[in-house]
Structure 1
Amino acid sequence: MLSFVFPHLKPVLRAYTPAISLAIGLFAIGTSASADVDLPTLGDTSSVTISPQQERELGKQWLRAYRSQVPTSSDPLVIDYLEQLFDRLLPYSQLQRKQIELVVAENRTLNAFAVPGGIIGVHTGLLTYAKTENQLAAVLAHELGHLSQRHYARRLESEKNLMVPMLAGMLAGLVLAANSEGDAGIAAIMGTQAAAQQARLSFSRQNEQEADRIGMQTMIEAGLDPYAASEMFEEMMRANRLNRRPPEYLLTHPVSERRVADARNRAMKYPRKAYPDNLEYQLVRARIRANQEETPQIAARMFKSELDRESDSPDASRYGWALALSRSSQFDAAREALAPLLEKDPTRVTYQIMRADIEITAERYKAGLSILEDQLKKHPGSYPLNVRYAEALMKAGSYKESAEILDRLSRKRSNDDYVWYLLAEVNGLAGNILGVHQARAEYFILNGVYDRAMIQLRNALKLTQGNSYQTAMLEERLKYTQQQMLNRGF
């Protein structure tokens, strides 16, 4: 049964398939060069190797394999914030298809990656290293630059003989890195890349330069700070000096003093001005920082200490303090800590969700549900509010109402495996066995566990005899799943 502990962390399914690992698309190791490289738009040359449609299929299969092996965040506030930031960047990117699939690994290390087919991965640790929203956006815009120029396809064109061992090892390394503090992942990545590194060094320099240049242009057009790229590079170099091992991100995106200078020189073409930070970023960052502490009590002391010594973002520190107090079952203290924020900004949805979370965690379900219902009247399309409301209804024993909300949400977010996970749980509690099998099947499909998905679909078919429409739908889904299982080796 689902455990209602915030933050949410989906269970990791162990269904690793080596063939699927060939879909990985991290970008090359190398060092930066000193000048901008104006490469032409990628044309038919790389398309001979891999088409955009093939890239999307590779990306879909890779994402399913990755999800099955890596603890991923399903905190709706974190997911919603990152999706909104991408929504701000994507219209100004050079991607022809302005869509991405986001996966957030619950890991404290500094890492982000791009995979062919529009997949962007982010470690939660990246948000603790990026001190401002603009610094985070600089990293994400850089990854969009890699995707828009299809660097994956261009690398395959020049490295066909090394493709299989390199890509298989890189997926294994990413999975290891996301399941640990990074040592094992680094060893796997560096071991498989050693043979190919020299052959592609100069090409990867061009990749990084191009992604830097395009990423900065995306930032500027989106109204974000062009100087944030050099600031984030400096944060990475500082992390590299302070740690006994380099962050995973620096293995595939090396940063040097020259690269920092190049980024700063590009930014100097534009007037320097103040860019106020987004408080919502700092609130999400506080959630992640609270999650990374060993206990809520330690997190509470950390945030209280920040408040006592004049925090850089006092509202975020206070929010983190209230969050940690609630998780420590100090509900009166949590309400008291949150009160000044509610008085200062009563319309902020993030504060209202925190207010409801305190009541729900304290098992005051009526009060918590009332807060969420009031907010949903004002923001009916809010993803975090809908997820929280469904979770709260489930915990309060209102299974049918929770299932109705999740069913609607699953139609809007059919690729959201956490929604399917919740729907399977609540259908089970409500006694809807057919619904359990259907939701579990979708969850397993999104995690690449096709054999278990087929078991669920066959079980569902046994319950739809006499209903020709439902039977036809399930049979079609079963055929799709069988085909996916056959094709997963490419």
Structure 2
Amino acid sequence: MNVLPRSWVLRPALALSAALLIVASHTASAVATTDLNLPQLGEPADVNLSPAQEREIGASVAAEIYRENYTLDDLELNDYVNAIGEQLAGASKTKPPPVHLFVVRDPRINAFALPGGFIGLNVGTLMVADNESELAGVLGHELAHITQRHIARSIGEGQAGTIATWLGVIAAIIAGSANPDVVMGALGVGQAINYQRQVSYTRAHEQEADRIGIQTMAAAGFDPRGMADFFEKLAQESRLYGNRVPELLLTHPLSTNRMAEAEARAAELGPIHHQDSLEFGLMQARARVLVADNPADALNFYTRQLAAGRNSLDNRYGMALAQFTMSQIPAALDTLSPLAEQYPKQANVQLLYAQILEQNGHLDTALDVYGKLLQLYPQYAPAMLDYAQALMDANRPDDARQYLISHDQSQGTQPETYRLLAQAARQSNNYPEAAYQMGTYLLTRGDPGSALEQIDAGLRLPGLTPQERARLVAKRAEVRAQMPDRYGGGDGPQS
């Protein structure tokens, strides 16, 4: 089961300062390279930041975001938004680096691009979108910032001093949530106007991201009106709430001219009929339940929706998920069973059905549901990982391990795979393997310090075989190679 706890802890934004020091050091080295007046080979932006440097910077900031638990680590939500990201990336005229989207546990409307292919999407943006084309418009815009390498180009345009601050603001927005004092304190910026100036892309970059983003979303089969419609939604919310400007407008200022240009481009491209997937509404319902301050609030919302006659698939799914989250298992089963029968090939409905069946004591039936679903979608990672968890719940850890290691489509692409492999190893009393896999999991999550602790604990286990010790030592070297200096240089136990 991958339903997460509703609460999350906000830590000071300055916890992200180490990653931002990496940004600053790359910025300084980039400026120094430019000052040497070397010939410009390849892309002009490469002189300022190479693609490898961009990837390292983006990965460092993303790792801090993961480490501080600001993300909504729900397998189905993340798979859904990454599928849209891949669809857009495949239609982009400029081939992007490997794109990785993550969902931020924040109900406000926002999205941001980091260097090197990382895109953060606030869950609130998904919740307020009226259709998939609006969501694709937001993501297409952010993807364009990446493909056009706006951060690297900004350094060449005399803005090198603001790059670290710009990324720092992103971190502070996430860390500070709705508390402006935390944001301002983290940045050391005294005036809100300075804050906005630091985070804003140049007008030319915003226009370019709009133009390329709308072309990309249309090429991917989405309605280009989606971007203009979402702009109108933002403008309306800004008018309604006065000073409570949507976060997206702080980093991407919206003007009347920008809205008009988006509408004109959409008209030039012509209407494209895009049929929203069933998954879009289901993921909106899932997001509403997972980010509710109190699960009872989500339950009350869907109770009212159904009582008002809005008997849609989305509302019934949301009702069942809210009941399940509140451990009202028989009620959840009653709500979802008709949907499971009506939609035998809808993956999200079937996954929730299997989870409810298991919690209701019907583990064998749940395993059958997982098996049928995986026959339909053998590479659907959420189903694969939930199935492995169900095998362990059935006291079959060796079967779970064998299933995970024999399916390459999840191995290495889903950090959760490594966590489950560690769990299966512990359940089988294979503690050296558990230490190895948990260390790998923490490393993929951007936490090499904790990964090293796991590997060192494994190396201290009594009775290690030579093969087990050699494997742990090799993993330890891999972890140490990825550790910034701030973790210290002590080698710790290796024997």
What range describes the TM-score normalised by the shorter chain of this pair? 0.7 to 0.9
Residues 431 and 345 of structure 1, relative CA distance in 2, 3 Å threshold: same
Give CA-to-partner distance per residue, 1:187-213, whole Å, 9 cap, x none: 456938855866997x71001000000
Match of 1:227 among 206, 225, 228: 225
Residues 274 and 126 of structure 1, relative CA distance in 2, 3 Å threshold: same
Contact 1:24–1:171 (CA under 8 A) maintained in structure 2: no
What is the one-letter code of the residue matched to 2:441? Y
Higher relative contact order (CA 8 A, sep 6+): 1
Residue matched to 1:210: 208
Residues 13 and 392 of structure 1, relative CA distance in 2, 3 Å threshold: farther
Match of 2:325 among 327, 330, 337: 327
Contact 1:437–1:456 (CA under 8 A) maintained in structure 2: yes
Residue matched to 2:285: 286
Residue matched to 1:374: 372
Match of 2:363 among 357, 362, 365: 365
What is the one-letter code of the residue matched to 1:355? Y
Alignment of 1:163-174 (within 5 A): 163=162, 166-167=165-166, 169-174=168-173
- Superposed displacement of residue 152, structure 1: 0.7
Aligned length: 465
Alignment of 1:345-356 (within 5 A): 345-356=343-354
Contact 1:322–1:338 (CA under 8 A) maintained in structure 2: yes
Residue matched to 1:31: none
Cα separation, 2, equivalents of 1:465 and 1:281: 49
- Superposed displacement of residue 182, structure 1: 5.4
Alignment of 1:13-32 (within 5 A): 16=15, 18-22=17-21
- Superposed displacement of residue 230, structure 1: 0.8
Alpha carbon RMSD of aligned pairs, Å? 3.2
Residue matched to 1:402: 400
Residue matched to 2:180: 183
What is the one-letter code of the residue matched to 2:382? P
What is the one-letter code of the residue matched to 1:6? V
> Unaligned stretches of 5+ in structure 2?
25-40, 488-495
- Superposed displacement of residue 409, structure 1: 5.6
Contact 1:10–1:72 (CA under 8 A) maintained in structure 2: no
Cα separation, 1, equivalents of 2:166 and 2:272: 42
- Superposed displacement of residue 472, structure 1: 4.5
Give CA-to-partner distance per residue, 1:327-380, whole Å, 9 cap, x none: 333334323322443343222122211211211222332222221122223322
Contact 1:9–1:75 (CA under 8 A) maintained in structure 2: no
Cα separation, 2, equivalents of 1:194 and 1:408: 54
The answer to whether 1:251 aligns with 2:238 is no
The answer to whether 1:6 aligns with 2:12 is no
Residue aligned with 1:191, SS = coil
Residue matched to 1:37: none
TM-score when normalising by structure 2: 0.84
Contact 2:109–2:247 (CA under 8 A) maintained in structure 1: yes
- Superposed displacement of residue 240, structure 1: 2.6
Residue aligned with 2:101, SS = strand
- Superposed displacement of residue 98, structure 1: 4.8
> Unaligned stretches of 5+ in structure 1?
26-41
Residue matched to 2:66: 67
- Superposed displacement of residue 82, structure 1: 1.4
What is the one-letter code of the residue matched to 1:264? E
Match of 1:442 among 440, 443, 449: 440
Cα separation, 2, equivalents of 1:218 and 1:340: 39
Alignment of 1:62-461 (within 5 A): 62-159=61-158, 162-163=161-162, 166-167=165-166, 169-177=168-176, 180-181=177-178, 183-184=180-181, 186-187=183-184, 188=186, 191=189, 204-243=202-241, 244-272=243-271, 274-311=273-310, 314-408=312-406, 412-461=410-459
> Structure 1 stretch 361-370 or stretch 431-440: which is displaced more?
361-370
Residues 488 and 281 of structure 1, relative CA distance in 2, 3 Å threshold: farther
- Superposed displacement of residue 465, structure 1: 5.2
Residues 186 and 277 of structure 1, relative CA distance in 2, 3 Å threshold: farther
Residue aligned with 1:397, SS = coil
Task: Provide the identity percentage.
Answer: 31
Residue aligned with 1:73, SS = coil
Residues 433 and 131 of structure 1, relative CA distance in 2, 3 Å threshold: same
What is the one-letter code of the residue matched to 2:455? L
Give CA-to-partner distance per residue, 1:153-194, whole Å, 9 cap, x none: 0112234652475146325414414xx345356545693885
Cα separation, 1, equivalents of 2:199 and 2:179: 24
Residue aligned with 1:122, SS = strand
Residues 444 and 329 of structure 1, relative CA distance in 2, 3 Å threshold: closer
Residue matched to 2:37: none
Cα separation, 1, equivalents of 2:272 and 2:94: 28
Contact 2:168–2:187 (CA under 8 A) maintained in structure 1: yes
- Deviant stretches of 4+, over 6 Å: 8-15
Residue matched to 1:477: 475
Cα separation, 1, equivalents of 2:320 and 2:470: 50
Cα separation, 1, equivalents of 2:448 and 2:473: 15
Give CA-to-partner distance per residue, 1:449-472, whole Å, 9 cap, x none: 32332232233345685535x555
Cα separation, 2, equivalents of 1:387 and 1:105: 21
Contact 1:356–1:371 (CA under 8 A) maintained in structure 2: yes
Contact 1:322–1:337 (CA under 8 A) maintained in structure 2: yes
Give CA-to-partner distance per residue, 1:379-414, whole Å, 9 cap, x none: 222211111112223334333333333444687442
What is the one-letter code of the residue matched to 1:222? A
Cα separation, 1, equivalents of 2:265 and 2:188: 31
Cα separation, 2, equivalents of 1:107 and 1:99: 25
Residues 182 and 49 of structure 1, relative CA distance in 2, 3 Å threshold: same
Residue matched to 2:492: none
